[in-house]
Amino acid sequence: MPTAIYPGTFDPVTNGHLDIIQRSTSIFDTVVVAVAEESGKDTLFTLDERLEILKEVTSSFKGVYVESFSGLLVEFVRKKGANAIVRGLRAVSDFEYEMQMALMNKKLGEGIETVFFFTSTEYSFLSSSIVKQVAALGGCVKGLVPPNVEERLKAKYNIKK
């Protein structure tokens, strides 16, 4: 039963992330959404909030589990008995960084493969950073994130409904 790890910060999770998670379940029996405890990024949502949100929005996905991890991704992959890392590619600009990471993970984790999913067209422009910028300025993020994330963004930025 192949298991994959889909790592990220998920700050916040977007509909693009959910698309990748859902599509990866068609290839892997188990997908562990691995939320990075430390990412070098300043996060809007705490680790506990990101875990809670992801568990809420993936609760109906068969074979999907949400956990946090710290340290080297390949060590977490080994710990979970997985054989693949799932990553999404939106644009050419993602490719160079993702290729470097995939090659380093391959060097560090023999037998661990990285599987890339091209984003669905409707999410090709979408990133957590863009969502946060739009939300911070009071813009509409409906359809870009799940409804519970939209509400949490409004609360974080103190935006009246």
Q: Is 90 a catalytic residue?
A: yes
Is residue 144 assigned to a domain? no
Q: Which of 41, 70, 124, 129 is catalytic?
A: 41
Q: Which of 24, 50, 87, 128 is catalytic?
A: 128
If one compares 158 and 43, the residue with the highest pLDDT of the two is: 43
Domain count, the chain: 1
Is residue 139 assigned to a domain? no
Closest CA to 18 of 115, 123, 132, 97: 123
87 pLDDT above the threshold of 80: yes
Domain region containing 52: 3-125
Closest CA to 83 of 105, 112, 56, 42: 112
Q: What is the pLDDT of residue 161?
A: 63
CATH of the domain at 112: 3.40.50.620
In order, the DSSP letters of 71-109 are: S-HHHHHHHTT--EEEEEE-SHHHHHHHHHHHHHHHHHS
Q: Is 87 a catalytic residue?
A: no
Is residue 137 assigned to a domain? no
Is residue 102 assigned to a domain? yes
Could you give the CA distance from residue 161 to residue 151 in angstroms, rounded to a whole number? 9
Q: Is 128 a catalytic residue?
A: yes
Is residue 60 assigned to a domain? yes
Is residue 119 assigned to a domain? yes
Is residue 52 assigned to a domain? yes
Q: Is 70 a catalytic residue?
A: no
Q: Which of 17, 50, 132, 152 is catalytic?
A: 17
pLDDT tens-digit profile of 90-112?
888 789 999 999 999 999 999 99
Q: Are strands 84-89 and 64-69 parallel, antiparallel or unpaired?
A: unpaired
Q: Which of 55, 78, 80, 90 is catalytic?
A: 90
What are the phi and psi torsion angles at 148 (to 5°)?
Answer: -65, -30
Is residue 24 assigned to a domain? yes
- Of all residues in the chain, what percent are helix, strand and coil, respectively (each to 5)? 40, 20, 35
